[in-house]
A and B are shown apart, each in its own frame.
Chain A
Amino acid sequence: MIRHLALLTLALGACTSVAPIRNIAEPRSGVTFTSNDIRKLQNDDAANPGMLWVEQGKALWRAGVEGAGVDNKSCASCHGDAEQAMRGVAARYPVYDAAAGNILNLEGRINQCRVHRQHAEPLRYESEGLLALTSYVAHQSRGMPIQASIDGPARPHFEAGQAHYVTRQGQLNLSCAHCHERNWGKMLLAEPISQGQSNGFPAYRLEWQGLGSLHRRLRACQFGIRAERSAAGSQELLDLELYLAWRANGLPVEAPGVRR
């Protein structure tokens, strides 16, 4: 009996370790679906409006945070120079964190640091401060290929994200896959449908006249198909973010991207 159970466990282990196959083997960044003007804007640091948030993030990285009136630590107090310490970090996110018992995206990790290391209040999702720090950290990986891991305890989160991705929702009854896997490259009126890759985020979106997180972008999609929107930072969007990162593995981090 025990031997059977052990065999069953091994078999199950083998099953779950089978690497999933991507529907889009060679992903294409969203920026390749935009106009020349937008590509130029993204590629020129002096013109890319997202760089304003990166600059602000650089200042926040070095600024002390008055946490519970005791330590006044900055990010730099522990991590030093972000250009060294944060290089390549964003390319691996979201990651599973044992202390949190969950996957964390960059926003989550920054807030974990604020609460547990700086003894400060977490920054509100989509607040200018969190957007700035996230952009600054993500920017340190610009050009590096995304390499999100879905192994081990991250796997159930990947699977939840995948389930979300292929589930129809909203009054218009569409899944993410209906547009971004089956119909990318086709036109909606005069706009091409992209593959919905996440590698440009946080991104400056012309429609927003501002920089926003990936979760804000995903909520905009939910709004578009007339679905109930998930809260920014919610578990379902975190899981979806991990699925999207795996889907984008190999694409370069573009933060801060520029999109329509």
Chain B
Amino acid sequence: MTGALALKRAAPSLASGQAVRFAPRAAGCWLVTALCVGLPVAAAAQQVVFEGGAVPAPLTAVPADATRGKIVFVQREKGHCILCHALPDPEVRFAGNVGPPLAGIGSRLSAAQLRGRIVDPTQDEPDSVMPAYYRTSNLNRVARPYASRTVLSAQDIEDVIAYLLTLR
């Protein structure tokens, strides 16, 4: 599956349809079980393991696509990360400043750290204003169309990480 194909297929859906469930804390790690509930192509139940605020293991086995990651980052229907984060990119004319600007982020944070912050930033900073993009548990009164769905799919997140790692 190429990145372009993945984008095409994922675009009409609200989110990935994959759920994340938190298991009790064990040996300094957070165990997260991802359950597939709605994707037409069933992905196996997947575990997200936090080490501190980072997630070392990629969420998918598909090679990440930085070009697609930039689209996910910018698009309103996808991550829309530019709502809060500025990018060092002349194509991005407007960006918010609620979160830090991401110029040079690829040399400041590792893939594992970026993954942790995108999957669930409250693991690192409990009062974080940034939403958790790959979490469905311990949320309060989620509107029905979004219930048990993550904001982004696992592949979206891997592609965004690949894009962010190019910002050095």
Q: What is A's interface to B at a CB cutoff of 8 Å?
A: 167-174, 178-179, 182-183, 186-190, 193, 222-223, 226-229
Contacts and interface: CB of A to CB of B under 8 A. Distances in A.
A195 to B, nearest CB: 15
B142 A189 contact: no
Interface stretch (B3-11, B47-55, B111-119, B143-151): B143-151
Contact of A182 (B97, B129, B151): B129
A171 B139 contact: yes
Contacts, number: 66
A228 B141 contact: yes
A172 B121 CA distance: 12
Interface in B65-101: 82-84, 94-98
Contact of B98 (A167, A170, A171, A187): A187
**Residue among A170, A178, A226, A227 with most chain B CB within 10 A:** A226
Main secondary structure of the interface of A (DSSP, over half): loop
Contacts of B84: 188
Nearest to B140: A169
A187 to B, nearest CB: 5
Given A169-B140, A186-B98, A188-B98, A174 B146 contact: no
B129 A227 contact: no
29 contacts: A168-B139, A168-B140, A170-B139, A170-B141, A170-B142, A170-B143, A170-B146, A171-B143, A171-B146, A173-B122, A173-B131, A173-B132, A173-B140, A174-B129, A179-B129, A183-B129, A186-B98, A187-B96, A187-B98, A188-B83, A188-B84, A189-B82, A189-B96, A193-B98, A222-B143, A226-B143, A228-B142, A228-B143, A228-B144
Contacts of A167: 140
**Residue among A173, A182, A190, A227 with most chain B CB within 10 A:** A173
B15 to A, nearest CB: 8
B141 A188 contact: no
B94 A190 contact: yes
A226 B129 contact: no
Given A172-B151, A188-B84, A228-B143, 11 more contacts: A167-B140, A170-B140, A171-B146, A173-B122, A173-B131, A174-B129, A174-B131, A188-B83, A188-B96, A193-B98, A229-B143
- For the complex of A and B, the 9 pairs showing the least CB-CB separation, nearest first, are A171-B146, A172-B131, A228-B141, A190-B94, A169-B140, A178-B129, A188-B96, A187-B96, A226-B146
